[in-house]
């Protein structure tokens, strides 16, 4: 009986210790929220052309507790027409934020490989800036409802959705672009 107790007790302790560990790994927060309370951002760019990079930035990222997370992938949510996400990056927020530009992120001072996010939201007003590089493969107006950010925290893979509506409007398509943008907004609000 003692041999059985010596075998079962350590397994129970290890199981109890590992089952609650996920509650203590840091979570990534983007622009003050997870994107579930409505849009965190809306961007409409006019006169966009196929295969040109459109880089957007200026969104804060931070952690809900001390630690480190590494972003491994960013994917579009509900893409519309031929929009693609060419690249993503981040950098410490130490000066002016990006806004938007028609250049690749690497030409705008963002590293090709994003550094780990380590800034805790409540401890520092200067967070980490998220930047995304969009393009479209066709000539039509294209857009997406947001991005899903996949990251690693304490060895676990996690995701956070960022409700960033982006619309790349075709040249001369101002009216239809506005209607499509309003359609994206209405569809997202109903989901």
Write down the pLDDT at residue 169: 93
Write down the pLDDT at residue 22: 52
Q: What b-and-e string marks burial along 177-190, b requiring 16 or more CB atoms within 10 Å of the CB?
A: beebbeebbeebee
CA-to-CA distance for 146 and 42, rounded, in angstroms? Answer: 9
Write down the pLDDT at residue 149: 95
Write down the pLDDT at residue 137: 95
pLDDT (tens digit per residue) in 106-122? 999 899 888 899 999 98
Euclidean distance between the first and final Cα of the chain, in Å?
A: 57
| Three-state secondary structure call for residue 72 | strand
Half-sphere exposure of 2 (CA within 13 A, CB side): 0
Residues of the chain with pLDDT under 50: 4-5, 7-21, 32-38, 188
H or E element, residue 131: strand 128-136
pTM of the model: 0.78
Structure tokens at 116: 């780990």
pLDDT (tens digit per residue) in 31-58? 744 444 445 678 899 999 999 999 999 8
Write down the pLDDT at residue 17: 41
List the one residue out of 113, 174, 165, 119 whose CA is nearest residue 144. Answer: 165
Write down the pLDDT at residue 130: 93
Which residue do the tokens 């943008």 mark? 181
């Amino acid at each position: 009986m003692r041999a059985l107790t010596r075998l079962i007790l350590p397994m129970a302790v290890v199981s109890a210790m590992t089952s609650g560990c996920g509650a203590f790994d840091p979570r990534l927060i983007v622009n003050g929220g997870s994107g579930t309370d409505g849009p965190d951002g809306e961007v409409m760019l006019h006169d966009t052309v196929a295969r040109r990079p459109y880089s957007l930035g200026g969104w804060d990222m931070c952690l809900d507790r001390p630690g480190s997370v590494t972003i491994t992938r960013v994917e579009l949510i509900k893409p519309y027409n031929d929009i693609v996400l060419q690249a993503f990056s981040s950098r410490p927020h130490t000066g002016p934020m990006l806004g938007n530009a028609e250049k690749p992120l690497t030409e705008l001072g963002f590293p090709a490989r994003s550094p780990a996010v380590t800034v805790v939201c409540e401890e520092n007003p200067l967070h980490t800036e998220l930047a995304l590089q969009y393009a479209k493969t066709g000539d039509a107006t294209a857009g997406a409802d947001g991005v899903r950010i996949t990251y690693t925290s304490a060895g676990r893979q996690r995701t956070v959705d960022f409700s960033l509506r982006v619309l790349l409007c075709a040249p001369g398509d101002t009216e239809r672009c506005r209607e499509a943008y309003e359609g994206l907004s209405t569809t997202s609000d109903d989901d």
